[in-house]
């Protein structure tokens, strides 16, 4: 068994690296940076099962043909071993050494803030009797997306938390307080945001800065921005990224 595992050490180590990193993310509460919370238990359980099956598969599979190994020149075997070591080392650094990170403002720009009607339509809030204090960035973005609802919130105060991304139609005066909505995993994440009118905002709040914004919705003073309503802030403060940076 030991000789079979040794002969296939690259594949075994790569498989175990992926499994260990998944279990570690689950144990440290960071799995939410990559998948929806509803899949936490399933993912960790499947990772553990996968680890057992990986070891069993590599152990029980036939060993490589020794004659085939002899046909590979010694120099070629050396490069093959070195390549395997480099691949494993790079994978270990990427999966275990580098800190987990959230999707960035660049990802939001690539995917266009508030461009997904499907995301904003899911669990869209109703305004009748609503608790506005409990509204998330996604909730406000869904309301602003609906012309019929948006008009009714003019003058309504709101508090939102998210990271800063520019309004491409007026990047000097308007930015979005942005969060990613995750349906399944980070691959399908879509950015949603609430527009804020704050001329010269870049001087104090660089792109990707996490902010807390409090203010009231009003007709957008910008004549070039595509946003009809914006928050005109009474306070805008930098803040730490929350432990759960996405909304669901």
Average pLDDT of the chain is 79
20 and 61 together in one domain? yes
Domain that holds residue 217: 105-238
Q: Is the pLDDT of residue 133 over 80?
A: yes
Burial status of residue 223 (CB atoms within 10 A of its CB: 0-12, 13-18, 19 or more): exposed
Q: Is the pLDDT of residue 238 over 60?
A: yes
**Among 55-59, 100-104, 157-161, 226-230, whose mean pLDDT is lowest?**
100-104
90 and 119 together in one domain? no
Residue ending a domain, choose from 34, 64, 97:
97
pTM: 0.70
Q: Is the pLDDT of residue 226 over 90?
A: yes
38 and 120 together in one domain? no
Q: How many distinct structural domains can be found in the chain?
A: 2
Mean of pLDDT values over 20-34: 76
Q: Are 152 and 217 contacting, i.e. CB atoms less than 8 angstroms apart?
A: no
Instruction: Check residues 47 and 171 and name the one with the higher pLDDT.
Output: 171
Say which DSSP state 35 is in. B
Return the number of other C-beta atoms located less than 10 Å from residue 155's C-beta. Answer: 8
Q: What is the C-alpha separation between 98 and 134, in angstroms, rounded? A: 35
Residue 2: predicted pLDDT: 46
72 and 158 together in one domain? no
């Amino acid at each position: 068994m030991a000789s079979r595992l040794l002969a296939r050490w690259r594949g075994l180590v790569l498989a175990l690296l992926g499994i260990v990193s998944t279990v570690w993310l689950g144990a440290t509460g960071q799995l939410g940076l990559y998948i929806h919370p509803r899949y936490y238990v399933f993912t960790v359980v499947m990772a553990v099962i996968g680890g057992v099956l990986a070891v069993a598969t590599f152990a029980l599979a036939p060993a490589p043909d020794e004659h085939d190994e002899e046909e590979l020149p010694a120099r070629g075997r050396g490069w093959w071993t070195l390549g395997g070591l480099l691949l494993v080392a790079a994978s270990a650094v990427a999966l275990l050494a580098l800190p987990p990170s959230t999707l960035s403002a660049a990802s939001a720009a690539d995917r266009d803030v508030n461009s997904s009607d499907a995301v904003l339509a899911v669990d869209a809030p109703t305004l009748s009797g609503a608790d506005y204090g409990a509204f998330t960035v996604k909730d406000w973005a869904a309301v602003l997306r609906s012309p019929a609802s948006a008009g009714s919130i003019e003058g309504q105060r709101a508090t939102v938390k998210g990271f800063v991304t520019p309004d491409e139609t007026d990047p000097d005066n308007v930015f979005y307080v942005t969060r990613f909505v995750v349906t399944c995993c980070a691959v399908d994440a879509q950015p949603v945001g609430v527009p804020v009118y704050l001329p010269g905002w870049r001087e104090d709040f660089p792109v990707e800065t996490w902010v807390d914004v409090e203010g009231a919705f009003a007709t957008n003073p910008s004549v070039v921005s595509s946003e009809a309503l914006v928050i005109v802030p009474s306070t805008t403060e930098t803040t730490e990224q929350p432990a759960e940076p996405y909304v669901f």
